[in-house]
Amino acid sequence: MRALVDGGITAFRLEAMPRISRAQDMDVLSSMATLAGYHAAVMAAFRLPRIFPLMMTAAGTMTPARALILGAGVAGLQAIATCRRLGAVVEAFDVRPAVRDQVESLGARFVETGVESETQQDTGGYARELEADAQARQHQVLAEHVKESDVVISTAQIPNRKAPVLVTADMVASMRTGSVIVDLAAPGGGNCELTRPDEEVDANGVLILGPTNLPAAIPGQASQLYSHNATRFLSQLLKDGQVQLDFDDVVISQTCITHDGKPMGEQIEALLQGASA
């Protein structure tokens, strides 16, 4: 950041793209989260030592696997859709009640814990961190659903904060041998208490995976989506073939981090002041 300021560089960070309708085709986080959610479901299906769908054969009937998705943002919704297409019975939880209709439209059951509230969503559409008493109630309800699940895919992250712990060590101990947890919040510390980033953890027969860059496992399409996002963003900066920055445009003002030898925004200023200190 200091080098950008000292060099007079105009720089942008696409992960700060506002969650508004006009910016959907520039939203890099959503593009990558879509791929991560899909790949997490496929990864879980591959590592689970049983099949996902209901299957009736001459030798007997095999019941479907049960999947629990924690967090119903872009990655969570894609994980729900993929698990359903693979034939699993799917439940999903999120602290934001507004996503209930989206969860149910994909064929999953929405898990209610009693802590869901409209106040748990910030102005950017992201989930807020729960108070301690609400977290305790949430853990109590989720414990029963985790225990009955063959697969848990967790996606809950809070911008600029450590990921909330949704699956405790005791919950993991209650799961059946062979169960799989795919923790997409591993970069932020993990939603599972036992997650280790980019490692496989065997917790008494329960496999815990903590991938930190699943879109890289689908490089061609990840690059395709990212290039489209970047191209659409760059088109916002060009007027008649010339770069023109309109800082009244929220797409530009929220993503710009340095311009004309100055840091842009309180967060970037605080970052530089903290580094100097």
Residues assigned a catalytic role:
19, 24, 27, 30, 126
**What is the rounded CA–CA span in Å between residue 144 and residue 233?**
44
Outline where DSSP puts E strands in 88-194: 89-93, 109-110, 151-154, 180-183
**What is the rounded CA–CA span in Å between residue 275 and residue 126?**
27
**What is the rounded CA–CA span in Å between residue 246 and residue 108?**
43
**What is the rounded CA–CA span in Å between residue 198 and residue 211?**
5
CA-based max dimension of the chain: 73
**What is the rounded CA–CA span in Å between residue 194 and residue 210?**
10
**What is the rounded CA–CA span in Å between residue 164 and residue 113?**
16
What distance lies between CA 273 and its chain's CA centroid?
A: 30
Exposure string for 75-112, b = 16+ CB within 10 A, e = fewer: bbbbbbbbbbebebbbbbbbbbeebbebbeebebebbe
